[in-house]
Amino acid sequence: DAGVTQSPTHLIKTRGQQVTLRCSPKSGHDTVSWYQQALGQGPQFIFQYYEEEERQRGNFPDRFSGHQFPNYSSELNVNALLLGDSALYLCASSRSTEQFFGPGTRLTVL
């Protein structure tokens, strides 16, 4: 049973560019959450998708947007990248309260 998968593993972008990160949930899960983990910090909730709609959003600007597809996979888009967006981006999938995390995408903004 494949767990949560994310792509790409690493990404380097420059300020002002746009980036798309992808997540495939664990089999049987219908909900995807995205988190940002800055160096030395705990993960911070960005948003959660359920039934292809954004169900809840954390304290992140509109530059962060997402999408969920009918097969429950999800994308996280970040526009107008800032140096401070450099972080590990984690995807978590769930069917109830317990969330299962993927390995993350390491984004570096230069």
Partner 1 sequence: AQSVSQHNHHVILSEAASLELGCNYSYGGTVNLFWYVQYPGQHLQLLLKYFSGDPLVKGIKGFEAEFIKSKFSFNLRKPSVQWSDTAEYFCAVNAPYSGAGSYQLTFGKGTKLSVIP
| Residues of this chain that bind partner 1 (CB under 8 A) | 4, 31, 33, 35, 40-45, 48, 55-56, 58, 90, 92, 97-104
Instruction: Tell me which amino acid residue 22 is.
Output: R
Strand bridging mode 105-109 / 10-13: parallel
Q: Kindly tell me which of 35 and 109 has the beta carbon lying closer to partner 1.
A: 35
- Which residues touch 29 (CB under 8 Å, ≥6 apart)? 72, 93, 94, 95, 100
Q: Kindly tell me which of 75 and 100 has the beta carbon lying closer to partner 1.
A: 100
Q: Kindly tell me which of 47 and 85 has the beta carbon lying closer to partner 1.
A: 47
